[in-house]
């Protein structure tokens, strides 16, 4: 991972404090120095710099969206990203699934005693860089240090607030028979990137995570007045879980075509080697959209204009109001049920 250019040197003297100590979470001088010199330095903005117990800010007119998520990925750094940038992207993407423009984030850190200070600084720099690129501010947070052996290096919780500046109702219950089902890009890369690093798997080319913010293509759809019935980001459980959750909430049957679902060859080969279905593998920069069929062509053009959704594809449709069911038709024309994963396939992927 490339460390952001704005400051590549950890402000805590590594020679003096090469690792995080319990005292860094004890409320004294070391904790004050950690908060000021690491988090305060990297995340500095007018709201955070007040150093108050709560952030005070104004929001534009409109409905608010709020979401929270925790990140426990192992390893912390992986091809295409790290726990820090993923924490920003994941929360921004959850807000985008309501069609919200992300504004503010909070960040909570649970740090295991002994974590290298340089590792923490790299993660914090990555978060700062990702937040700036997403146009959000980190305005409040919390830090806890736990005993060595009582954590797993570093856990991060982020909560996000965004503003909904449109009048559409984007929710699973609005999915209708005849809706087109679109995905924003190729699937399965994040889970396979994590698995390859964790298990030491070697492929001809490195599989990089798809971790990225998706609010720009979503907001572009709304700006161009594309009617959106539902959006869902494809994280744990991948496309299969998302479609089944939406089918259940909407009371519909969804039918997709396997031959048009975008999966890269290297990801497909890795999944086949490990006995995994790429449609059940996690992503961190992909979403599914349910849009009236009449708008699907225009929606694809808009999505493909953005790098993060350049490989967007129409993969199926909502067939009918019926008992919740998701089916997938193979290249041979045989249909089968596409179910949720029965258990945890890839631990610690987000």
Which helix (DSSP H) or strand (DSSP E) does residue 290 occupy?
Answer: strand 287-291
Tell me which residue of 247, 246, 248 sits closest to 233, measured CA to CA.
246
- For residue 252, being part of any structural domain is answered with yes
Question: Do 251 and 208 share a structural domain?
Answer: yes
Quick one: average pLDDT of 33-50? 94
Per-residue pLDDT of 279-313, as tens digits, reads 999 999 999 999 999 999 999 999 999 999 999 99
pLDDT higher than 70, residue 2:
no
Task: Check residue 207 and report its DSSP letter.
Answer: P
Cα separation, 312 vs 306, whole angstroms: 10
pLDDT higher than 50, residue 1:
no
Dihedral in degrees, nearest 10, Cα atoms 160, 190, 84, 311? -60
pLDDT of residue 4: 46
- Residues contacting 200, CB < 8 A, separation 6+: none
Helix axes 83-96, 215-223, angle to 10 degrees: 20
Question: Do 159 and 47 share a structural domain?
Answer: yes
- List the CATH number of the domain containing 64: 3.30.1330.10
Beta bridge partners of 155: 110
Question: Do 286 and 204 share a structural domain?
Answer: yes
Task: Check residue 38 and report its DSSP letter.
Answer: I
Contact 267, 192 (CB under 8 A): yes
Cα separation, 301 vs 299, whole angstroms: 5
Quick one: average pLDDT of 311-326? 96
Q: Which two tokens stand for residue 272?
A: 């086949």
Quick one: average pLDDT of 35-59? 93
Question: Do 204 and 283 share a structural domain?
Answer: yes
Quick one: average pLDDT of 183-197? 93
Contact 86, 284 (CB under 8 A): yes
Quick one: average pLDDT of 115-134? 97
Question: Do 176 and 143 share a structural domain?
Answer: no
Quick one: average pLDDT of 87-110? 98
Is the bond preceding residue 293 a cis peptide, omega within 30 degrees? Answer: no
Pairing state of beta strands 325-329 and 252-257? Answer: parallel
pLDDT class for 7, splitting at 50, 70, 90? low
User: By percentage, how much of the chain surpasses pLDDT 70?
Assistant: 95
pLDDT of residue 325: 97
pLDDT of residue 240: 96
Question: Do 198 and 271 share a structural domain?
Answer: yes
Q: Which two tokens stand for residue 285?
A: 């920069």
pLDDT higher than 70, residue 156:
yes
- List the CATH number of the domain containing 200: 3.90.650.10
- For residue 246, being part of any structural domain is answered with yes
| Mean pLDDT of all residues belonging to the chain | 93
Question: Do 91 and 69 share a structural domain?
Answer: yes
DSSP string, 75-124: SSEETTEEHHHHHHHHHHHHHHTTTPEEEEEEEEEEEETT-BHHHHHHHH
What residue numbers bound the domain in which 79 lies?
22-164
Question: Do 327 and 273 share a structural domain?
Answer: yes
Contact 109, 233 (CB under 8 A): no
Q: Which two tokens stand for residue 123?
A: 């993660």
Number of folded domains in the chain? 2
pLDDT higher than 50, residue 5:
no
- For residue 15, being part of any structural domain is answered with no
- For residue 345, being part of any structural domain is answered with no
Contact 292, 279 (CB under 8 A): no
The pTM (predicted TM-score) of the whole model is: 0.93
Question: Do 304 and 188 share a structural domain?
Answer: yes
pLDDT higher than 50, residue 20:
yes
- For residue 131, being part of any structural domain is answered with yes
Q: Which two tokens stand for residue 19?
A: 């690792």
- For residue 237, being part of any structural domain is answered with yes
Pairing state of beta strands 77-78 and 63-71? Answer: unpaired
Per-residue pLDDT of 198-255, as tens digits, reads 877 777 778 999 999 999 999 999 999 999 999 999 998 999 999 999 999 999 999 9
Pairing state of beta strands 101-112 and 154-164? Answer: antiparallel
Helix axes 189-199, 265-274, angle to 10 degrees: 60
pLDDT of residue 199: 77
């Amino acid at each position: 991972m490339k460390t952001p250019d704005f400051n590549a040197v950890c402000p805590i003297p590594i020679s003096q404090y090469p690792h995080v100590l319990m005292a860094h979470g004890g409320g004294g001088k070391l904790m004050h120095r950690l908060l000021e010199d690491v988090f305060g330095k990297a995340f500095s903005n007018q709201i955070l710099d007040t150093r108050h117990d709560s952030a005070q800010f104004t929001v534009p007119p409109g409905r608010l969206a709020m979401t929270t998520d925790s990140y426990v990925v192992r390893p912390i750094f992986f091809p295409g990203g790290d726990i820090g940038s993923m924490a920003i992207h994941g929360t921004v993407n959850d807000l985008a699934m309501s069609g919200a423009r992300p504004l503010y984030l909070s960040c909570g850190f649970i740090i295991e005693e002994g974590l290298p200070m340089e590792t923490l600084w790299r993660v914090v720099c990555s978060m700062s860089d990702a937040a700036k690129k997403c146009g959000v501010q980190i305005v409040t947070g919390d830090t806890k240090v736990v005993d060595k052996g009582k954590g797993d290096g570093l856990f991060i919780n982020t909560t996000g607030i965004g503003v909904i500046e449109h009048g559409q109702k984007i929710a699973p219950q609005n999915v209708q028979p005849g809706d087109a089902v679109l995905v924003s890009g190729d699937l399965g890369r994040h889970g396979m990137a994590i698995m390859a690093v964790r298990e030491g798997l070697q492929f001809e080319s490195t599989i990089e995570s798809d971790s990225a913010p998706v609010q720009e293509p979503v907001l572009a759809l709304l700006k161009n007045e594309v009617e959106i019935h539902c959006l869902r980001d494809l994280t744990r459980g991948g496309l299969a879980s998302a479609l089944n959750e939406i089918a259940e909430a909407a009371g519909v049957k969804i039918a997709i075509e396997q031959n048009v679902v975008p999966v890269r060859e290297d990801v497909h080969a890795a999944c086949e080697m490990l006995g995994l279905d790429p449609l059940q593998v996690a992503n961190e920069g992909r979403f599914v959209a349910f849009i009236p069929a009449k708008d699907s062509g225009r929606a694809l053009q808009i999505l493909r204009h953005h790098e993060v959704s350049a490989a967007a594809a129409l993969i199926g449709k909502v067939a009918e109001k019926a008992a919740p069911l998701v089916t997938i038709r193979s290249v041979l024309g045989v249909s089968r049920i596409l179910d949720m994963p029965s258990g945890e396939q890839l631990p610690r992927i987000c």
